[in-house]
Amino acid sequence: MRSVAKYDMPVLLVAICKDRPTATWAAGPFECTVGPWTTQVTRPFVLGPTTVPEITDTSMVTRNPAAAALSAIVHSENRRAPAILEMAARGFLAFDPPTTKRWVEVVEVGLENTSIRKVWKALLKSLVTHYPGHRTMFEETYLEGKAEGKALGEAKGVLRVLEVRGLAISDDVRESIITCTDLDRIDDWLVRAGTVSRAEDLLTEAPEGD
């Protein structure tokens, strides 16, 4: 009620359901009573298999990505779910990377911890690298993401070695190490982290011949 008063807008309860029985139940109405009096009746707006169309056309996905994401979620228990997910993924990949990422994550969260979620993730990986070796935009984005993840893991390893040795690590040195994406340089740091006298010495070039 405070929201109604603040924004002067009506309240609509939306229920998203993946199966027909739950969708039928969620439609209500639900009555709140005190003795013989009905104080409130709630009729949720249900988005489910019978009210949300199956979107299996990539052109429809690009025109209305929100509807496509919702379709992929509510029809996830449908036997046609793999086809619906594939069209959604292909359509989302037509957008710029930030927009693609947003809608891909909306679907992934909506699928929750279900077996079809694994299908969704596998599908995206196969589509992103659909033309392996051609260095398409999405292949580069995917590979760069994997490289950055590996670099971050190894950079944390460098810091851990310095910490175990009891060396003081300034904020500047820590930032330089953790933000580095050059795997060759990080590998060099990892080797030298066990012998340097100060953490700062790690950022200098290794002596020639080492």
Burial of 32: CB neighbours in 10 Å, binned 0-12, 13-18, 19+:
exposed
The per-residue pLDDT for range 186-201, each reduced to its tens digit, is 888 888 888 889 999 9
For residue 206, pLDDT beyond 60: no
The pTM of the whole model exceeds 0.95:
no
CA 86 – CA 88 distance, rounded (Å): 5
Domains of the chain: which residue ranges? 2-47, 58-128, 137-203
CA 67 – CA 183 distance, rounded (Å): 41
Amino acid at 60: M
The per-residue pLDDT for range 94-131, each reduced to its tens digit, is 887 778 888 988 898 888 877 888 888 888 776 665 44
For residue 156, pLDDT beyond 80: yes
